[in-house]
A and B are shown apart, each in its own frame.
Chain A
């Protein structure tokens, strides 16, 4: 378990081992004593200044990376222009509201029928507390945030191969998982299984910790009783008056928990990117794109499809089609920050080094489908006390998420009815949008039979492989492509530098796009001053 090469492990090693297995608070204490673990590379907004008089930068793409680049470079004294394919700022930071029309590649068009204030976030939908760059600019640009509920103990877990296919509460499953693992570890100690790993004194300490962590009884067993029910819930909850006494609930068998893969599920919530506290903008993730858009108002040429990027003759010239008029135009500047997603950039005639062109062509894009289902009532809150959070399933929809906004209000709410990964994304994306909605509704009803389909009002589905401005979700790097191409992709190529989530190690997150942008413009500015 703990490999110390024969010597007795240190206390920290023991605590670390416990942390890996689930006793994260112990691990945290150990880490805290060593100073906090660094969780961001953000050092505050860049202090760029002193651009050469008249120097100009052309920014391609009005997503978060592009708009941040434009904002900071303008403040540094550059003349800035942005070209954007869409008719709105934000890029993948985007919310669909009632009254919106979305047309995907292939021509399928959806009219969003949500009630006022309701939305689907087709792209990013949650913000970790340690994404300091994004949080900084949200505050600076006046984006109101509210908590995003990631982990909800009352939410459900469905696995077609366990519990007879009946969804169970996360609270019960997680409690039973910890309890069973604690019991097994205590048994291993009693069976002298850890004698070579731990000194006697530490074995005793660990057993005491396991008793509290796993709610073990006096025989070090995880058993049915009021003690375990305190965590997993009661068959009859505590109340007042004559029937106030609680009745204990019965834990699940450990084999069922293994069949349902509960360990993986518990681990999901432990990931750094999913830890408490998480945020979302009030009114939809698209509020961030709008707020950034306000900062660069007047700098953006919308409806501009870039077709060629040239950097000969001591300048960067982008050729683009003005989509409204169909006319071909050019935009010219001394330098260029290009945030066009790599899949699309790989199809644009680009005057750059062979190394950069190879890097751009080497990174494919992932796919995912998100479906928003508007329900007439918030039955999950009213009937089941589920406020926000995620219910998981092994079906292709993978999960449904209850809205974290407008909790405990009356009226309709939008459930994220599918967030697909892997092969399921392709299967879903190949369906017409109304079919995606129908299948998502069908699959999600496993959580709330009798109420899910019955309360359904309308839905919208976004398949990222058919999103006209990205051709996919996010850049998919692997170890080989990172090694071969990442540094080249990030390097300033004469007068052009790339930025976006694809030029970061925080791929697929807004934070990655912003940190990439800040790094790119800092280097570009230096290059411009040295020129």
Chain B
């Protein structure tokens, strides 16, 4: 509920945006982007298709995999290279790797995203 409130505040004018005490830099990106599909608890969902659960996800063990997915997209998931900075991508992957039941060691850096990320495929037609 608290997180919901923070996100709602993100829509308000900057003057009203209360900054919580030193949150993980990737949390804001997760709340404002990833959560739209992967859900607030990162458990994903299943309908006609499925949204991957990031909670307790073994594919996050090596940062190269999530870097590839976030920069290049996968199935219905669009690529976010270009709409997020390499630093934001590194931050949010770093955030997910140590939250939602994930306890993976090692820092994810913008340099790693630059190194192993998929190049931005360019502007969408729509």
Contact = CB atoms under 8 A, between A and B. Distances in A.
Contact of B39 (A106, A427, A478): A106
B75 A469 contact: no
B126 A343 contact: no
Contacts of A476: 78, 124-126
A470 B4 CA distance: 25
B75 A347 contact: yes
B23 interface: no
A477 to B, nearest CB: 5
B35 interface: yes
B126 to A, nearest CB: 6
Interface in A436-483: 438-439, 442-443, 463, 465-472, 474, 476-482
Interface in B13-35: 31-35
B48 interface: yes
A481 B121 CA distance: 9
Given A429-B37, A430-B36, A468-B47, A439 B125 contact: no
Contacts of A474: 126
B8 A346 contact: no
A431 interface: yes
A479 B35 contact: no
Contact of B76 (A344, A422, A427, A482): A344
Contacts of A346: 75-76
Contact of A364 (B8, B31, B40, B76): B76
B10 interface: yes
A305 B4 CA distance: 32
A479 B7 contact: no
Nearest to B43: A106
Given A439-B11, A466-B37, A471 B125 contact: no
A58 B10 CA distance: 47
Interface string A256-299: 00000000000000000000000000000000000000000000
Interface string B111-124: 00000000001111
A283 B36 CA distance: 30
Contacts of B4: 431-432, 435
Contacts of A306: 48
Contacts of B79: 364
Contact of A343 (B10, B49, B83): B49
Interface in B37-57: 37, 39-40, 45-51
B8 A439 contact: yes
A364 B77 contact: yes
B36 A342 contact: no
A366 B126 contact: yes
Contacts of B124: 366, 476-478
Nearest to A366: B126
Q: How many interface residues does chain A have, given as a range? A: 35 or more
B122 A347 contact: no
B126 A443 contact: no
B37 A465 contact: yes
Interface string B62-77: 0000000000011111
A482 B124 CA distance: 11
A361 interface: yes
A343 B37 CA distance: 13
Nearest to A345: B49
A426 B32 contact: yes
B91 to A, nearest CB: 16
B121 A480 contact: yes
A479 B36 CA distance: 27
A384 B46 CA distance: 45
A55 interface: no
29 contacts: A105-B45, A343-B76, A347-B49, A366-B78, A367-B78, A423-B83, A425-B36, A426-B36, A429-B35, A429-B37, A430-B31, A430-B35, A430-B40, A431-B7, A435-B4, A435-B7, A443-B11, A463-B36, A466-B36, A467-B47, A471-B49, A471-B51, A472-B76, A477-B124, A477-B125, A479-B122, A481-B121, A507-B126, A508-B126
Given A364-B73, A364-B75, A427-B36, 9 more contacts: A340-B48, A366-B78, A426-B36, A430-B35, A465-B36, A471-B47, A471-B51, A476-B125, A477-B124
Interface of A: 85, 105-107, 305-306, 340-344, 346-348, 361, 364-367, 396, 422-423, 425-432, 435, 438-439, 442-443, 463, 465-472, 474, 476-482, 507-508
Which 6 A-B pairs rank lowest in CB-CB distance, beginning with the nearest?
A: A343-B76, A468-B47, A429-B36, A344-B49, A105-B45, A430-B35
